[in-house]
Structure 1
Amino acid sequence: MSLDRELEALLFASATPLTVTEIARYLPEGADVPALLADLAASYATRGIVLVERGGAWLFQTAPDLAHVVQPARERPAKLSKAAVETLAIIAYHEPVTRPEIEGIRGVAVSAGTIDVLLAAGWVRPAGRRESPGRPLQYATTREFLVHFGLQNRRDLPGLADLKAAGLLEADIAPGDDSGAGDG
């Protein structure tokens, strides 16, 4: 049996995306996992499903140009409230971040329910405690966040210039740095 077939079966059967280290555990010792992944991704590049890396892990997903075909068949999750979307964006762009920092950026209190929704969705995780008075809990995004939003890492988040160009920010607010999210 060829290693590319073993890799394909492993990725197809996995319920979650797999890292190179996790994949290597299932293949013979010495297998060049990055090269095998690159070859397999290339062989799927023109098909209905593609092999992609998201958040340092590999998975099969629907080819981007065919998303409209499967969209009606997918279960639609409940929409996030405006507060949850704003909180998620703050966490993504400023992680690790504490609740008081989120509240300072938003200008309003963050309810426990808002963060609970993001935790339940699997997009946010506790990220330790800040070494400051009260030792507040910090929050950060998860690999599931990256997978859901089609990002390889946080650097792929749109920068201010991108958001302004898309009409999502007014041109006269937040002048200055127009780079992406950070070091992911």
Structure 2
Amino acid sequence: MEKRAAAQARLAAAQAAAAASAAAAKKKTDDGGHAISKDELQELLKEFAPGESFEPEVEEMLLEITDDFVDNVLEHAARLARHRGSEAVEPKDVLLHLERQWDMHIPGYGGEEVPKYTEKQSVETHSRRLAAVRRSVAAATAAQNEQRKQARLAADRATKGKGDMGAEDA
């Protein structure tokens, strides 16, 4: 039962991706080949900053940045799919790239959990490494101090030996 639900979820995701791809292909012919249209960009602006507007140069730059982002994500998702040995890009490929490279977590697409280092693990690992470095530095410093001490003792013995020989001659 659980496998069936997972299969249905994957099928729904694939259908949604196909529909989005078809819609994007249609929009590309309508809007100069950009990933999103100028109208959609204006809608986003109205949603997040009502009453504001873009200058035409800024609008073009944002469309180019969006295109670059989509190209980057698709390129890396395709690499991940090939690495898995698949000819098709799946949602998990896109999710993995977004999570690992962009630290973006898309709600509603849990899928397979990607192991992630928690901050506590990172801090503990860093603390262990620092402790090892400190021990190493302390051991090296102690060895240098011991060498200096031995060298001073040897020098003192050598000067005492010369001083005794000079006193006997007199």
TM-score range, shorter chain: under 0.3
The higher radius of gyration belongs to 2
TM-score of the superposed pair, with normalisation by structure 2: 0.20
**Greater fraction strand:** 1
Whose helix fraction is larger, Structure 1's or Structure 2's? Answer: 2
Q: Which structure carries more relative contact order (alpha carbon 8 Å, separation 6+)?
A: 1
